Structure 1
């Protein structure tokens, strides 16, 4: 059976009272540790450029060729 909020509060009060009788300090609350990434932001940017940069440069090279091919195909259809 689950505790009601009133029961939980009473249990915490009792536990604090008993801990004080034994001479123990208050229960410590664990802090969440903020973990840092092992890779810095600069290295992530460089990695993204290496991975995606080649694709971008290849598209910049191919797009004019595609436009000229589409234009010539359209020219042949209209002529």
Structure 2
């Protein structure tokens, strides 16, 4: 169950980071989920990039663990 939770959580982080980053690039004033963070555009874009990276790593970890247990077939 922990592997599936990691996979789903990673995919959710990845999607939220990608969607927020694209929105921020299209309209610099629309910060979305990270509108509360100080630092302006560069810090918010870095936050979304970090969400994408962490989400991809977490989803990859959950996927590899699920494959090893025989659920990836």
Short-chain TM bin: 0.3 to 0.5
- Structure-2-length-normalised TM-score: 0.34
Q: Which structure has the greater CA radius of gyration?
A: 1
TM-score (norm 1): 0.32
Name which structure has the greater RCO, CA cutoff 8 Å, separation 6+. 2
> Normalized per residue, which structure has more helix?
2
